[in-house]
């Protein structure tokens, strides 16, 4: 079975890598799909994020990297034959944000979402926090 791990990955973190590794142990293939988040100001160009993810996951034979812009995630999944969305959860705030999206995605497409709790060693790190601290 194929799964997608979507995100802006701007920048990719050790927490993202941890979720990707854990998902790779559960699925035949995991596609890390870089999406554009209109609520975030991007720091790294798309090509750089893709290259960084490819480098970070080079030891994971069943993890690939892709991007999608301007489409619903479920449309990307349908086109790619992907049946599961993987999402990492760091906090209850993440769950409150992710749960309605997971329910909507399932309603629209039948695609399930698997929530992977963050490793406590990485739970306090977010791309948004890293971007905010590096802009100074």
pLDDT tens digits along 51-61: 999 999 999 99
- CA gap 78, 66 in Å, rounded: 15
**Catalytic-residue membership of 90:** yes
pLDDT at 122: 58
**What's the distance, Cα to Cα, between the start and end of the chain in Å?**
43
- Check the annotation: does 115 bind a ligand: no
**Active-site position among 2, 21, 90, 106:** 90
The DSSP 8-state label assigned to residue 136 in this structure reads -
Q: From the candidates 40, 71, 97, 107, which is the catalytic residue? A: 40
User: 124: annotated binding-site residue?
Assistant: yes
79 is in an annotated binding site: no
Number of Cβ within 10 Å of residue 129's Cβ equals 11
97 in a known ligand binding site: no
Give the three-state DSSP class for 99: helix
Q: Which domains does the chain have, with CATH numbers?
A: 2-134 (3.40.50.620)
**pLDDT tens, residue by residue, 63-110:** 999 999 878 999 999 999 999 999 999 999 999 999 999 999 999 999
């Amino acid at each position: 079975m194929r799964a997608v791990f979507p995100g802006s990955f701007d920048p990719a973190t050790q927490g993202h890598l941890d979720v990707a590794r854990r998902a790779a142990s559960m699925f035949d293939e995991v596609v890390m799909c870089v999406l554009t988040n209109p609520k975030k100001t991007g720091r790294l160009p798309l090509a750089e994020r893709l290259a960084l993810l490819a480098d970070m996951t080079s030891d994971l034979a069943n993890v690939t990297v892709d991007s999608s812009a301007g489409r619903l995630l479920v449309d990307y999944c349908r086109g790619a034959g992907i049946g599961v969305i993987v999402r990492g959860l760091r906090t209850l705030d993440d769950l409150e944000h992710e749960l309605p999206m997971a329910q909507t995605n399932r309603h629209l497409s039948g695609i399930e979402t698997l929530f992977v709790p963050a490793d406590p060693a990485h739970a306090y790190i977010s791309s948004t926090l890293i971007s905010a601290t590096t802009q100074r």
